[in-house]
Amino acid sequence: MKKCTVFVFIVAAMMLTVFNFGAFNVPIANAEVLPGSYNLKLMTFNVRKMTADDGTPNSWNNRKNIAVHAINNFGPDVLGLQEADKVQIDYFIANCSAAYQSIGTSREGSTTMGEFSNIMYRSDKFILLDWGEFWLSETPNVPGSKSSFDSEYPRMSTWVKLQAKDNANAIFYYFNTHFSLVLEAAEQGANLILNKVAEQVKSPDTPVLIGGDLNRTEVSPVYSIFQNSDLDDTWRKAGKSFANDGTYHAFTGETDRAHIDWIFEKNASAINSIEINRYHENGYYPSDHFPVNLNVTIPLTTDTTARPIGQTIWLKASANGNYVSTRANTTDSPLWASATAANTWENHQIVDAGNGFVSLIAKANNLYVSARITTADVPLQAKSSTIGSWEKWIWVSNGDGTVSFRSIANNKYVSARSSETNSPLETRIDSIATWEKFTWGNR
């Protein structure tokens, strides 16, 4: 942990008259980033259902700001919640200091009612590549379905696939869950999550993290299912003690109760720090669970071998079968899917723009292709002599042999409007369909 200045110690001492951090240790604020890696801060937090403690000192209205402070003091990039009501999620989004977006429905499959095991991620730092949810039952694709071992509540898992905005090679998965109190149902849930990881994560070296309230300690068969797989418990891997490591405390602040909130990982480069967040204010706690804070380094894993760096290629729009052409004899050299053959105007060189991004040089005029996102529906133009944000693209390899391009400037995909004459290329679509797909070949 980095040394603080004298000033920070003085301020901290003054704050102790109001805030008591107990055994909470602030993790490394700026852990050293290893070459070829990316740092993440993750939190799992059972926030205690909003109405469960009405009329008591632990009511949501009395602890909602304490919960916000507990989150802000760590500043997670990704936050997995359990027992969260929609009102609580909305309060976090409105009041946390970072810009968060929430993913997932409730365990009943509703967007407004019931308990959520949702995921909040920093939308200013990450792009949501994919997400999903499934229920821990014999019918995992049926919203609200219950396990045959536990007819009381439906249980579920929400997952996201995220990509860092400042490094296209930093991609990872996070799975969030809240297990049943019935052992057989919890074991079923653990195996379902592992099966879903195997189904969704195709690359063997992509980082995967699984966090949540397992309602089980480290001596449970449920814990062992994860630990005996290709994942590791980050608490154990960091060499932390299992004494006085309770994460459930029933609003008492006691540390010797059950450790039931966990984060498991696969393919992380390093566990920089992991702590149980015991933040409280004047003896009042944000929840009946302590959050768990993880600072972890992940490798850069995007497969760049498919990108033809340094090569000159042609592109053909799947929307109309025409080649992408840079009209060099037209003002601002717009790009159109208009050519029936690949000649000089249809040649573009792929350049490494750093951090997993690419740029395209139009061989017609040797200028970089630019997305003019400040103007509505303006075609891509080969008009820049240098690489800036407008000239950086993410090369997306689709599973059908086609590629797509997403602009780093506005996180939208290049689209060829097949319904319009000559199909001008514009950076305007949020997802990939036929208009956003291109075949390519070497020249």
At residue 409, the pLDDT reads: 85
Judge if 332 and 276 occupy the same domain.
Answer: no
The pLDDT tens digits of the residues spanning 56-103 come to 999 999 999 999 999 999 999 999 999 999 999 999 999 999 999 999
Count other Cβ atoms within 10 Å, centred on residue 117.
26
- What CATH number corresponds to the domain at position 319? 2.80.10.50
Structural domain of 261: 22-299
Helix or strand (DSSP H, E) at 100: strand 100-103
Answer with the residue of higher pLDDT: 411 or 310. Answer: 310
Catalogue the E-assigned strands of 318-402: 323-326, 335-339, 348-354, 357-362, 367-370, 381-384, 393-397
Clarify whether residues 276 and 322 are in a common domain.
no
Residue type, position 400, single letter: D
Checking if the pLDDT of 26 tops 60, the result is no
- Quick one: average pLDDT of 205-216? 97
* 164/260 same-domain check: yes
Residue 23 has pLDDT above 70, yes or no: no
Reply yes or no on whether the pLDDT at 8 is more than 60.
Answer: no
399: tokens are: 């599973």
- Looking at the structure, do residues 343 and 210 belong to the same domain, yes or no? no
Q: How many residues does the chain have?
A: 443
Q: What is the pLDDT of residue 12?
A: 39
Q: Say whether both 292 and 380 belong to one domain.
A: no
CATH number of the domain encompassing residue 224: 3.60.10.10
Predicted confidence (pLDDT) per residue in 389-414, tens digit: 999 999 988 878 899 999 988 888 99
Global pTM reads: 0.84
**Does a structural domain hold residue 281?**
yes
- Is 117 a member of any domain? yes
Under a CB-based contact definition with an 8 Å cutoff, are residues 169 and 188 in contact? Answer: no
Which of 272, 299, 326 finishes a domain?
299
Same-domain check for residues 295 and 325:
no
Same domain, 346 and 373: yes
Mean pLDDT calculated for residue range 130-143: 97
> Percent of the chain, pLDDT > 90?
77
**Collapsing DSSP states into helix, strand and coil, what is residue 189?**
helix
Model confidence band, residue 278 (pLDDT cutoffs 50, 70, 90): very high
Residue 3 in any domain: the answer is no
End residue of a domain, out of 299, 325, 357: 299
Predicted confidence (pLDDT) at residue 2 exceeds the cutoff of 80:
no
Residue after which a domain boundary falls, among 236, 264, 299: 299
Q: Can you give the pLDDT at residue 173?
A: 98
In a domain, 13, yes or no: no
pLDDT tier at 5, thresholds 50, 70, 90: very low
The C-alpha angle with vertex 11 and arms to 7 and 16, in degrees rounded to 5, equals 145
Q: Are 321 and 269 in the same domain?
A: no
Domain count, the chain: 2
φ/ψ (deg, to 5) at 403: -130, 160
Q: Is residue 377 part of a domain?
A: yes
List Cβ neighbours of 256 (8 Å cut-off, separation of 6 or more).
Answer: 243, 244, 246
The per-residue pLDDT for 30 is: 42
Question: What share of residues in the chain are helix, strand, coil (percent, to 5)?
Answer: 15, 35, 50
Closest to 384 (Cα-Cα) out of 401, 362, 417? 362
Structure tokens at 185: 């149902």
128 and 210 share one domain: yes
Sorting pLDDT into bands at 50, 70 and 90, what band is 327? confident
Judge contact between 125 and 39, C-beta under 8 A.
Answer: no
Per the prediction, the chain carries an average pLDDT of 89
Say yes or no: 271 and 333 in one domain.
no
Tell me the average pLDDT across 212-229: 98
CA end-to-end span of the chain: 53
Query: How would residue 6 be classed by pLDDT, with cut points 50, 70 and 90?
Result: very low
pLDDT the model gives residue 302: 60
Q: Which two tokens stand for residue 231?
A: 């994942």
Range 305-314 burial, b when 16+ CB lie within 10 A, else e: eebbeeeebb
- Residues 291, 328, single domain; the answer is no
- Whether residue 235 is found in the same domain as residue 319: no
